[in-house]
Structure 1
């Protein structure tokens, strides 16, 4: 409606105003965000932050994982996120897909290109995590973590990199959990596969720089997305100088910055967005 009003003032016909609006859509960068399911999660906060920077968003979700977790699935979450972002004026699509499938990477890029255009930004937020202290660790647990956290992230990143042809402005942002900063007791498989993502980030950044793509990783630190017990929340709060737990939007702001033009000289970095959190 506002576009038609502007067109009439400037002397354009409604049809030409519509064409201008369509060109505006085509000019917007497209971002892919994996692992978005719950409205209170980091993935949803990332989508909102990118939409606020005028990016169209394709996000992936896999509700079967959340249904198997203690916190449960936000069954209406994915559709609600699409509606919310669409109301903000950007285009938004979602794709239900299991990233442990070796063919998922190609399908995600294909679906994004078909629906919104080839992406300029990729945020690898999807993760698999179950408690697996050394007494429970076995091949099946290791393989399940590897399939999503490492293989899924690597295959999607290289598929994006191979097909990227803009010459500049490409962004890959991986999510880690500070594996280089200290132990994660009871999370051996998760810690090992996320540490591998950190290592991959540094090398992939060097390989993709000639194509104009930056590659960085973000550690959001302990973040309250509904999975923490009150006891754990109180215990962790004292380890933050600011006296509060991390919120999803804290990391999302940094990711939105890394996705933008201002970050073009930052690559191969592991950035810790955790409010000064320190292990006891």
Structure 2
């Protein structure tokens, strides 16, 4: 059984990615969620409706022990399963000006995006190297390449993901494992629901927010066989706001 794991797969871009992979790949979809089981089950239902198989798997990506326990248990129950695709999508924001930022707001955001990438990817990387095949896609952000005021913590976390992507790509390329990052701009999801869309689209050359499905299309391509010669890249998907 060949599998694709999507962290933070229950809602928003993560859910769209799970559904797109269900449509366009032959992978068994592992939908990771932290707390919203109902949303994860809804995504799983969509995956099944599209003719694929999947399951939900609960852990907090920022908690190394929890990640290792959950994934080890899953691997023991599914000894034949091979995770070929990892989409490190889980992330949180705690926006605010740096001068008022608390230690927790800094740590929680960095731990989820950056340590989450380490915890999940590190669990599987040796297996991928042995299998001589893998596709890793890390969710960055326009904030990680341009920097966004009021998001110093998020920009730091996503900027670190960009650098980690480029470094890891060079380490594992000989074993047919690609590592790329996708950097969305303003995408219409729960996460951007509180933003003033009418004001912000003035900044976007294509004059609209992006859709989660558009990001999912890009991720689906990057994890496919077609993208074997693309690695170490950061692909902006932001309507021209920054490139």
User: Same-fold call, TM > 0.5?
Assistant: yes
Whole-angstrom CA distance in 2 between matches of 1:230 and 1:118: 39
Map 1:1-280 → 2, pairs under 5 A: 26=1, 29-38=2-11, 41-53=12-24, 54-63=26-35, 76-113=38-75, 114-115=77-78, 117-164=81-128, 165-168=130-133, 170-179=134-143, 181-228=145-192, 232-278=196-242
CA contact (8 A) 1:112 1:118 kept: no
Q: Secondary structure at the match of 1:82?
A: helix
> Shift of the alpha carbon at 1:214?
0.5
Unmatched 5+ stretches in structure 1: 1-25, 64-72
Give the Cα–Cα distance (whole angstroms) in 1 for the partners of residues 193 and 14 of structure 2: 20
- CA shift at 1:213, angstroms? 0.8
- Superposition TM-score, scaled by structure 1 size: 0.79
In structure 1, distance between residues paired with 2:73 and 2:4: 12
* Displacement after TM superposition at 1:57 (Å): 0.3
Aligned residues: 239
The whole-number CA distance in structure 2 between the counterparts of 1:186 and 1:216 is 26
Kept in 1: contact 2:8–2:91 (CA 8 A): yes
Q: Distance in 1 between matches of 2:178 and 2:13?
A: 21
Separation of aligned partners in 1, 2:14 and 2:93:
15
Measured after TM superposition, the shift of residue 175 of structure 1 is 0.4
- Whether the 8 Å CA contact 2:180–2:233 is kept in 1: the answer is yes
Question: Retained in 1: the 8 A contact 2:144–2:157?
Answer: no
Offset at 1:236?
Answer: 1.9
Partners in 1 of 2:107 and 2:145 — Cα distance?
24
In the aligned structure 2, how far is the partner of 1:161 from the partner of 1:189? 27
Q: Does the residue aligned with 1:132 lie in a helix, a strand or coil? A: coil
Distance change in 2, residues 1:196/1:227 (3 Å): closer
Gaps of 5+ in 2: none
Distance 2:162 2:187 in 1: 19
How much is the aligned-residue C-alpha RMSD, in angstroms?
A: 2.1
**Alpha-carbon separation, structure 2, partners of 1:126 and 1:150:** 10
Q: Of the two, which has the highest radius of gyration?
A: 1
